[in-house]
Amino acid sequence: MLCVNLGSRTAKLTVLDVAPGARAGAPGTPVAEAEPALEDVGGGAALRPFAAHPPDVVAYRVVRTSALPATDAVAFDAATRAAILAAAEFAPLHTRSVVAAYDALSAALPAARHMAVFDAAFHRTIPAHAAAYGLPYDDFTAGWRKVGFHGLSHAYAAARTAVLLGDAQPTRKLVSLHLGGGCSAAAIDGPHSRDTTMGFTPQDGLLMATRSGTLDAGMLLAYMRRKRLSIDDAEALISQRSGLLGLGGSADMRAILTARAAGDQRARLAYDVFVYRAVGAAAAMAAATSGLDALAFLGGIGENSADVRADVTAGLGFLGARVDPERNDASNADALISPPGSLPVLRIHTREDWIMALAAAG
């Protein structure tokens, strides 16, 4: 199976063998993998690493369609393609790239079965009181509600945390923090999502690489009027020119950390806002599950920044969370990074590809 995972800034292609009985929390080792430039997915150079492993199935991570998905995966065909394009305005950083990848790969690999795997499917269990906005009721029933994203990553966090902690420490209430180019927190009770910070679009919630995250809707309207922005201008502002980039001058957390250490006040503000939003979101997610049994960090920033993990966890000290500095600094694999007596805190290398493969195979 070839898994095509296109993020807002990155592309990851992985070939996996999926055996009968494979478990979500015990991922298989990739047969082959590559990270081409986002615009190169589907080209000859991007497919060259997989020439020796022609796939039976191609699975695509689909961020948004025109309606909430009823299943985890469906055939990627003309109808699915149209449904994805119909939602392009709701997830502009992802939609067009996945359709372009499908168009190229379905032509290059016509014998393979092509499957769309929905990133939001994991969040189908979010209750109505967490999904509804304060808009007219008819709009809620028509689909103007929280959808949620990063569901593949959060589903993996739940499954992997249970494996890492073992039967002696069953995890029922987990807050999963996926921190990368896009960022979201999720409240997970057992295997079920109960709330998440991204909403109707991936724009909502935490501060991200180039996305603003949650804004006062009234302020945005006033900002548009004062600066005479069109809808397209405003969309570009909040999705491509804000977040860490807008506040701190770079969309890369590594550059923010370097500038912050050198005393750059702009970078310091961006970092502090990023951490503050993550702490607040994690606390809110713990409230959604009426308690917390474990905290997991995933995503490019969550996996690789010991500073972010330490500072976010410190902000959640009132919930009993701590990190062991040596474990936190040394960790470069799935690991428990909290000391004895702490709420379990984990660093997990997310495997969205594995959850995609299981969904497409099922």
Average pLDDT (267-280) is 98
Confidence of residue 167 (pLDDT cuts 50, 70, 90): low
| pLDDT score, position 359 | 95
Q: What is the pTM of this model?
A: 0.94
Q: Which residues contact 179 (CB under 8 A, 6 or more apart)?
A: 206, 278, 297, 298, 299, 300, 301, 302, 305, 308
Average pLDDT (261-269) is 98
Quick check: 77 pLDDT over 60?
A: yes
Hey, what are 163's tokens?
A: 């494996």
| pLDDT score, position 100 | 87
| pLDDT score, position 44 | 67
User: By percentage, how much of the chain surpasses pLDDT 70?
Assistant: 97
Contact 336, 201 (CB under 8 A): no
| pLDDT score, position 89 | 85
Hey, what are 281's tokens?
A: 């979101």
| pLDDT score, position 185 | 98
Q: What's the CATH number for 166-347?
A: 3.30.420.40
User: By percentage, how much of the chain surpasses pLDDT 90?
Assistant: 79
Average pLDDT (335-350) is 96
Quick check: 96 pLDDT over 70?
A: yes
Query: Which amino acid is present at 149?
Result: F
Average pLDDT (314-329) is 97
Q: For residue 184, what is the DSSP state?
A: E
| pLDDT score, position 242 | 98
pLDDT digits (tens, 9 = 90+) for 40-73: 876 767 777 788 888 999 999 998 887 777 889 9
Sign (positive/negative) of CA torsion 311, 130, 211, 46? positive
| pLDDT score, position 173 | 95
| pLDDT score, position 130 | 98
pLDDT digits (tens, 9 = 90+) for 168-206: 566 789 999 999 999 999 999 988 999 999 999 999 999
Average pLDDT (350-360) is 96
| 185 vs 87 pLDDT, higher one | 185
Average pLDDT (328-356) is 94
CA distance 148 to 125: 11
Which range among 96-110, 158-172, 242-256, 308-322 shows the weakest confidence by mean pLDDT?
A: 158-172
Quick check: 298 pLDDT over 90?
A: yes
pLDDT digits (tens, 9 = 90+) for 204-240: 999 999 999 999 999 999 999 999 999 999 999 999 9
Contact 249, 267 (CB under 8 A): yes
The overall average pLDDT reported for the chain is: 93
Q: What's the CATH number for 2-149?
A: 3.30.420.40
Average pLDDT (9-19) is 88
Which 3 state secondary structure label does DSSP give 194?
Answer: strand
Quick check: 314 pLDDT over 80?
A: yes
Task: Please list the active-site residues.
Answer: 119
| pLDDT score, position 64 | 86
Average pLDDT (120-145) is 96
Residues 94-123, buried b or exposed e (16+ Cβ, 10 A)?
bbebbbebbebbbeebeebebbbbbbbbbb
| pLDDT score, position 351 | 96
Quick check: 319 pLDDT over 90?
A: yes
Maximum pairwise Cα distance, the chain: 59
- DSSP string of 219-230, one letter each residue: HHHHHHHHHT--
Residues of the chain with CATH 3.30.420.40: 2-149, 166-347
